[in-house]
Amino acid sequence: MADSGTGHGGHTTTMRVLIYSDNAAVRENVRLSIGRRPAADVPKVEFVECATAPATVRRLEEGGVDIAILDGEAVPAGGMGLCRQVKDEIYQCPPVLLLIGRRDDGWLATWSGADRVVSHPIDPVALAESLADLMRQRTERLAAAR
């Protein structure tokens, strides 16, 4: 988790969420949909934005990212293939929330190894709920590892 400080009881107050999309409007829509905190019972979010697949891989390899949101419609490298790559290549890859263009692409999202899927156009409530679920799971997993 991001080391931006701890709240009462030693809980981390911030989680770092990477957003990958070649489209700045998609990245902005994701940020606005999530806000500073997607649910009252999860930490605040600190966003890291990447516009290219190589930058995303590099940032994930560096560590310190708690959850990645990948745009399946990004070009030239779509988020589905990128998800599969980082899940295969990065040790302890963080959970991935994949944005897909069509609900029918769900089987491809399964192939990619995505932990959660939300369809375009982005539903802010569905995106925030899916991210909050991943944040809770990540918090529990990290607490259990201590």
pLDDT given at position 4:
40
Residue 44 lies in a domain: yes
Asked if residue 53 is part of any domain, the answer here is: yes
Average pLDDT, the chain: 90
Q: What is the per-residue pLDDT across 99-138, written as a single tens digit (0 to 9) for each?
A: 998 877 778 888 899 999 999 999 999 999 999 999 999 9
> Is residue 69 included in any domain, yes or no?
yes
Total tally of structural domains belonging to the chain: 1
For residue 108, the domain's CATH number is: 3.40.50.2300
Tell whether 137 is covered by a domain.
no
Domain hosting residue 64, numbered range: 16-121
Note whether residue 49 is domain-resident. Answer: yes
Angstrom distance (rounded) from CA 49 to CA 31: 10
pLDDT in tens, 3-29: 443 333 335 689 999 999 999 999 999
Q: By the 8 A CB rule, do 80 and 111 touch?
A: yes
- Write the single-letter amino acid at 108: L
What pLDDT does residue 105 have?
Answer: 76
CA angle 140, 142, 146 (to 5 degrees): 115
Residue 31 maps to a domain = yes
pTM score of the predicted model = 0.90
Residue 103: inside a domain, yes or no? Answer: yes
For residues 89 and 144, what is the distance between their CA atoms, to the nearest angstrom? 24
